[in-house]
Structure 1
């Protein structure tokens, strides 16, 4: 950070602040970007920044065809430092949940700009769009995404207002069985269409963790009205739905985990997917 930098002296300049409070300067077309966050790799391509993405993780799979030409730098947790050094990025995109703090600290020793993100709910993507648009000279595309998100939020709100709230269990793993706490992005997405996740814990407060394990004798399961089986990180399939219905005594439905848990540009399609699924399940029950 330089005191002479107009970003910090010009009150008209946009403030580009990441999730750790770090201020960044606009880089525009000169940026060489390594993304360690699958959903944000997708966002970079949505903002027409694919030509500047010089590295990505093996879990960055969308857009599939375009990413074939982008070198891999390991996984989200096991990053290959030597490979990133070779690629000489000016910016690395990281996330508080997906990447290790020690990884970020090590990268900061030789990468000029580490952009740390942490969207906790769908509306947080508005600030994320502003940040990426300002950083990489894609303000107009970012504004268009923001307009699409506001429209999708309005559609979700209409569904939430029209239908009674429903308490749900969202499964992310099997043996041990694991779900999501209320202070997760997944829970916030489901809440937009009127699905309240159980158990009613907040991982940062209760000490249970944001992705708590449970057993089928837990008392709060009696309040669950529907169970969702996510396609990721555990790839639940139809055969598991019968198992879960037998264990819970509740209807069990497969759900697209990418649509619920991927932030960035995916949030728009995700909200519309959830709104449609909510209406579909209500119509099916009638």
Structure 2
């Protein structure tokens, strides 16, 4: 492992419980996850980020200032090698095991593993510590926690049932054990399909039978739009159907600063004048 006189070898434990030895502070970082890429930039590490995925859309400059090293589940190993990273940051769910295993043979790879808000806040703090930016990561995590604490205290009505769709043909929802499930609960909704695996396929007849009060059509990974609302309204005529910002339900980095206010608006829409 190459490192210069500004760095020292350091060993940490990632969110998977794996020991990772890397040169500290890292001077060339490859990020394999969009939400974590945005976090690195928000921690002032734009000069250190040497590689990002094609899905790393925030900030918009990320894919211009760093090398694009493929997707989250199909890495371009040659481009990663050319980026000469002294640290790679990925995620257990968003990346693929075979690709991570290959990278680990050549580079230090730190993985997050996030299923809820506390896990996301822990990741933010750990990435801050990893990169020498804990002084910025701590207040960021505190700001996010405070916004969700306020959201919880503002909750009054009982939880309404909601189905959160992430895919079409076949229909798929986010169910128990997912970060989205935790966000739904914090937003003030009860997951109508919480008892079914993590991302189960749902038949139209199942949806009609469960009859959730709300149906949320996520803007990602499937790009649901207003044109799909009628399709679901036909199955559940009584449901309130909305296209929602998938980033604010599923991105677990610094974008969480915007989530609590969005959830409050979703739960209590402003009455038009």
Alignment partner, residue 193 of structure 1: 187
Alignment partner, residue 257 of structure 1: 246
Alignment partner, residue 228 of structure 2: 240
Does the residue aligned with 2:88 lie in a helix, a strand or coil?
strand
2:78 corresponds to 1:89: no
User: Structure 1's 18 and 40: CA in aligned 2 closer, same or farther, altered over 3 A?
Assistant: same
2:171 corresponds to 1:177: yes
Once the two structures are overlaid, the 10-residue window that deviates more, 47-56 or 146-155, is 146-155
Asked whether the 8 Å contact 1:27–1:136 carries over to 2, the reply is no
Deviations 1:123-178 (A, max 9, x none): 21221122111111101101111110121111220233x22211001111112111
Tell me the TM-score normalized by structure 2.
0.90
Deviations 1:165-207 (A, max 9, x none): 110011111121111111100110110122111213252xxxx
Structure 2 unmatched runs, 5+: 1-7
Query: 2:58 and 2:209 mapped to 1: Cα distance?
Result: 36
2:200 corresponds to 1:212: yes
Query: 1:194 and 1:127 mapped to 2: Cα distance?
Result: 23
Kindly report the root-mean-square deviation, in angstroms, between the aligned alpha carbons of the 2 structures.
2.1
Between structures 1 and 2, the one with greater strand share: 2
Asked whether the 8 Å contact 1:26–1:137 carries over to 2, the reply is no
Structure 1 unmatched runs, 5+: 9-15, 204-209
Query: 1:271 and 1:26 mapped to 2: Cα distance?
Result: 35
2:69 corresponds to 1:42: no
Query: 1:218 and 1:24 mapped to 2: Cα distance?
Result: 44
Does the residue aligned with 2:173 lie in a helix, a strand or coil?
coil
User: Structure 1's 163 and 27: CA in aligned 2 closer, same or farther, altered over 3 A?
Assistant: farther
2:9 corresponds to 1:20: no
Alignment partner, residue 64 of structure 2: 68
Tell me the TM-score normalized by structure 1.
0.86
Query: 1:37 and 1:170 mapped to 2: Cα distance?
Result: 22
Alignment partner, residue 262 of structure 2: 273
Deviation at residue 265 of structure 1 after TM alignment: 0.8
User: Structure 1's 6 and 240: CA in aligned 2 closer, same or farther, altered over 3 A?
Assistant: closer
Q: How many residue pairs get matched? A: 264
Query: 1:186 and 1:219 mapped to 2: Cα distance?
Result: 18
Query: 2:102 and 2:207 mapped to 1: Cα distance?
Result: 44
Deviation at residue 26 of structure 1 after TM alignment: 7.5
User: Structure 1's 280 and 20: CA in aligned 2 closer, same or farther, altered over 3 A?
Assistant: same
